[in-house]
Structure 1
Amino acid sequence: MAVSGTSSTRRQGGRGLNTILGWFLVLFIAAEALGLALPLLCIDAVGTGVILPADACEESVGEYTRTLMDGGAFRPGDLPSCSTYMELDKDLHVRSSDMDAGSRSRILDRISSNGLNPMGTFVVVPRDGGYLVIAYQIGARYAMDDLNRRLPSPETVLKLWMALNGILVALVAIILLGRYLRRGVEPMDRAVEQISSGNLDFSVGSSTVREFDQVLGSMEVMRANLRSSLESQWRLQEEGRRRTAALAHDLKTPLTGIACWADLLGETDLDADQSDYLSRLVKDEGRMEDLTASLIQSSLDETGRGPDRRPCKLGEIVDKVTDLVRAQVKAKAISLEVKSPTDLDVDLDPALTVQALGNVLVNAVEHTPRRGSIRLGAAIGDHPRRLVLAVEDSGPGFTRQDLELATEQSYMGDPSRSGRHFGLGLSVAKRDAQVQSGGITLGRSDDLGGAMVSLCFGLEEEAG
């Protein structure tokens, strides 16, 4: 049922996702650019002498080499701090050195391959029948030697900062974007929570994100339609209850007539069988009046009542139920065997229990062939304490589909089993058992070969 309301195509509030993501991309790039301003600071630091340029060490080594070439004496302490040395004899054997073994081996391999011409970051100076090799570093470095020893190189610091800046900016951008989108989703969360709790009398809000707002528009239409549908269903249920109550009330008139005619019939001369039949007729008429009163009450009661538990005799319940079917059992010559302790006290709702067991037993009588057998048994179980009433028959039994669906309301099953009671009786029995903390189980009777229906009732306390 369509209900006029806010259409999802009319809600255009908020920004689009593409616009939001575009703005965050611009902000991300701007933050990255600001974070990468450190190289400019490094350039300024180079200009002020805090950080030496990448070729500073090479120039210092060049000046010191020219001093040696002009006849200056070599002293290791005079070498620039960014360089190391290695003295070789004329056969290229190492006399002395402060280089590490890897650097010495690498330089000697290059000299052996390319001669004494410098190939890389080292120079060769002829000295006293041998050679002096001075290796140096290329790269920015601090002007103070203590900083070079204690801190990573400026280039390493710059790379670490660039990586950290990228991570921080991305993290902050994700957090901010997540918060923005979460605020946009909050109206949807509230709407879903309201609908889930069964409250449809609310107004769906709006979102700061256009796409989310369109979803909220659809949810508003769904809420309005659902509310209209539930109201319509409630009106139909109310009308159905009123009709049922009226029909049940109308049934009281012919029942009252039956009772009056039964009273008049009792005043005539009757033989023993006729008196017995009249007594059973009066009992059945009283039972119908009780059921009619219960039907009127349940039709007018919107909230429903719980079971009216009270101590009662199991034998009395079983007797009432067997009396309901005694005429049918006799007409079909069915053997009805009852195995139930007559003096057992149970804490149940007698009316609901009689109704549940009666529906099951009527169903069994209906589908048991002539001269067949029915068995009704009762047992008390513990942990938790419960009463189990089992009805077995020698009829055709349940099909696989029946076992799954027979307790559903209005299920009729196979046409061969569809009588006046099968579509409703077992569902009513299931309901009456469930409201007393029990249930119903369908199966096959091993002894009689037909159907077996077990009703379970939870016993709240041990009577007596």
Structure 2
Amino acid sequence: MEMKKRRQKTLTGLFLKFAALFCLDTFGIGMFCLVFLVLSPMTGFTLPANYAELQLTDHTEEIKAAGTEVEALIPDGCGYGIYDATGRFKTGTFSADAKKRAWQGYKNGSKYASMGKYYRYIKQNSGDICIVKYDLHMRYAYDKLNGIVPSLEILTPVLGVVLFFLHATLLSGHFAKKLKRELRQLREVTEKIGQNDLEFETGPSQIKEIDDVMSSLSGMKEALKDSLTRQWDAQQQKKEQLAALTHDIKTPLTVIKGNAELLAETDLSAENRECTDAILANVGSMEQYLEHMRQLLYGRDRAEETEVVTCARLKEQFKEAAMQIAAAEKVPVVFQEDSLCGNVCCKPGPVGRAWKNVVSNAVEHTDRARGIVVRLQMEVYEGQEYLTATVRDFGKGFSEQDLIYADQEFYSGDASRHDRTHQGLGLAIAKKFLKEQGGMLCFYNHAESGAEVVCRIKTEKT
């Protein structure tokens, strides 16, 4: 373990190593270009920069005696001209403009020509003046290359720049590959944690800082795994407790209901009759409450098959259910309906129960004199066509807290809990059933007064 720790690198050390290699490689490239430039004339590949000047010095006496036949004695790459004592151009390779500048330079005694070139003036035995224009640049020994390939003074820096960028790219790529290899495992770990896949092991990293992060993620994984396990166990325990409670309450409740019904069949006084009716009413509420709990615990009815139902038929079922609930509570109901077409693929039982829960919730909270408004129509929402059933009540509407929690289990919206008839399950069950059928539940406050709850059921494409 100690050996592995000693082999670990820090990010600081890694970047210092990169910087050191970068500087050394850059220095090496510069030295290579310099040596290449210096050794090139020694190998005979190029001629020295002062080659023309040396050749002119060596052949000065021959040029003096050659008269106008000096072309063979002039080094390659040089221009020349023969002038008489009065400055008349006799022969040479100068252009018309260069002829004048060369003679003017001779008269002024200047050795410098334009564009970094130089003049050599040689007075011949005949009295003529031979003016040679040359430069101090390296030339290739093979003369044909001079007109095609840039001079070595230009080519060498270009080569150095190319080598610099090449080595910078390769060196950066090498270190980037090393870092990516170390970071790949880190990325995989974070992705698995994001996907709640906590069954993985983290390996060591060669970089200390990354290894520290991996150790922290490993600790976080264990803590998250433990937390999720405890949460799951708590949920299962809660579910089991609720299931046991539902079962335990049902038996004595049945006994109470049976005895109350037997009492109701006897000849009772008005006071006793009132008490018996109250017992039966509350037993009915308890049975409804237990049924809601059963639906939340066990979900949809597994025995019921999915059916293809026409929207028109479902609309009539919704209307009938709304009228029955409103009539039972002596609340008026107004229907606003469009002509519906198409089909929905659903389980009519759960959808019907969801709708009844929504209507019951509206009837419970509305102004009993104004009742409720039910609107049934086809609607396109986010590119999908839905059968939309909307219920509006004329109560006080949803509070800010209701708009956040109204569709959650056991939320009643009544902090004092004085309203014992409301268990906070209606919208939660409706949302659950609609979601199982590919639909959705939305709720909000109406612009004028009261609240609106919208049930959307996805239609089938024809």
Task: Settle same-fold status: TM greater than 0.5.
Answer: yes
CA distance in 2 between partners of 1:318 and 1:206 (Å): 66
Residue 218 (structure 1) shift:
1.5
| 1:336 paired to 2:318 | no
SS of alignment partner, residue 37 of structure 1: helix
CA distance in 2 between partners of 1:97 and 1:304 (Å): 111
Give the aligned partner of residue 353 of structure 2: 355
Residue 230 (structure 1) shift:
0.8
* TM-score, normalised with respect to structure 2: 0.77
Instruction: Tell me whether 139-148 or 344-353 shows the greater mean CA deviation.
Output: 344-353
Q: Note if contact 1:11-1:213 (Cα within 8 Å) is conserved in structure 2.
A: no
Residue 173 (structure 1) shift:
0.5
CA distance in 2 between partners of 1:296 and 1:74 (Å): 121
CA distance in 1 between partners of 2:444 and 2:128 (Å): 108
Q: Note if contact 1:187-1:206 (Cα within 8 Å) is conserved in structure 2.
A: no
Cα separation, partners in 2 of 1:294 and 1:349, compared to 1, 3 Å: farther
Give the aligned partner of residue 121 of structure 2: 124
Give the aligned partner of residue 436 of structure 1: 437
Instruction: Tell me whether 79-88 or 180-189 shows the greater mean CA deviation.
Output: 79-88
| 1:65 paired to 2:68 | no
Q: 2:195 aligns with which of 194, 197, 212?
A: 197
Greater RCO, 1 or 2 (C-alpha within 8 Å, sep 6+):
1
- Cα offsets for 1:367-402 (capped at 9, x unmatched): 323422212343456896643222122233456776
- Equivalent residue letter for 1:391: V
Cα separation, partners in 2 of 1:259 and 1:346, compared to 1, 3 Å: farther
Count of aligned positions = 438
Give the aligned partner of residue 212 of structure 1: 210
Q: Note if contact 1:442-1:451 (Cα within 8 Å) is conserved in structure 2.
A: yes
- Cα offsets for 1:171-196 (capped at 9, x unmatched): 21012111111111122022123223
- Equivalent residue letter for 2:332: S
CA distance in 1 between partners of 2:281 and 2:378 (Å): 29
Give the aligned partner of residue 392 of structure 2: 392
Give the aligned partner of residue 78 of structure 1: 73
Cα separation, partners in 2 of 1:362 and 1:283, compared to 1, 3 Å: same
CA distance in 2 between partners of 1:15 and 1:353 (Å): 63
SS of alignment partner, residue 157 of structure 2: helix
Q: Note if contact 2:326-2:333 (Cα within 8 Å) is conserved in structure 1.
A: no
> What does residue range 156-171 of structure 1 map to in structure 2 within 5 Å?
156-171=154-169
CA distance in 1 between partners of 2:412 and 2:130 (Å): 109
Q: 2:38 aligns with which of 30, 40, 43?
A: 43
- Equivalent residue letter for 1:118: K
Residue 68 (structure 1) shift:
3.1
> What does residue range 172-187 of structure 1 map to in structure 2 within 5 Å?
172-187=170-185
Structure 2, unmatched stretches of 5+, are none
Q: Note if contact 2:63-2:73 (Cα within 8 Å) is conserved in structure 1.
A: no
Give the aligned partner of residue 143 of structure 1: 141
- Cα offsets for 1:50-89 (capped at 9, x unmatched): 3222211111122333433467554223311131113445
Residue 163 (structure 1) shift:
1.5
Name the % identity.
Answer: 27
Cα separation, partners in 2 of 1:340 and 1:47, compared to 1, 3 Å: closer
| 1:24 paired to 2:9 | no
Cα separation, partners in 2 of 1:146 and 1:378, compared to 1, 3 Å: closer
- Cα offsets for 1:223-269 (capped at 9, x unmatched): 11111111111121112111211222233134313541354256447
> What does residue range 229-378 of structure 1 map to in structure 2 within 5 Å?
229-261=227-259, 263-264=261-262, 267-268=265-266, 289=287, 292=290, 295-296=293-294, 298-299=296-297, 309-310=306-307, 314=314, 315=316, 319-320=320-321, 323-324=324-325, 326-327=327-328, 329-330=329-330, 334-337=331-334, 348-378=346-376
- Equivalent residue letter for 1:20: L
SS of alignment partner, residue 133 of structure 2: strand
CA distance in 2 between partners of 1:304 and 1:201 (Å): 34
CA distance in 2 between partners of 1:293 and 1:406 (Å): 19
* TM-score, normalised with respect to structure 1: 0.76
Q: Note if contact 2:308-2:346 (Cα within 8 Å) is conserved in structure 1.
A: yes
Structure 1, unmatched stretches of 5+, are 1-9
Cα separation, partners in 2 of 1:91 and 1:214, compared to 1, 3 Å: farther
Cα separation, partners in 2 of 1:444 and 1:144, compared to 1, 3 Å: closer
CA distance in 1 between partners of 2:102 and 2:430 (Å): 99
Q: 1:98 aligns with which of 93, 100, 103?
A: 93
Q: Note if contact 2:106-2:121 (Cα within 8 Å) is conserved in structure 1.
A: no
Residue 138 (structure 1) shift:
0.4
Cα separation, partners in 2 of 1:224 and 1:100, compared to 1, 3 Å: farther
Instruction: Tell me whether 28-37 or 74-83 shows the greater mean CA deviation.
Output: 28-37
Cα separation, partners in 2 of 1:40 and 1:240, compared to 1, 3 Å: same
Q: Note if contact 2:344-2:458 (Cα within 8 Å) is conserved in structure 1.
A: no
- Equivalent residue letter for 1:240: K
Cα separation, partners in 2 of 1:31 and 1:289, compared to 1, 3 Å: same
CA distance in 1 between partners of 2:160 and 2:368 (Å): 95
Residue 135 (structure 1) shift:
0.7
CA distance in 2 between partners of 1:335 and 1:126 (Å): 130
Q: Note if contact 2:81-2:130 (Cα within 8 Å) is conserved in structure 1.
A: yes
CA distance in 2 between partners of 1:233 and 1:171 (Å): 51
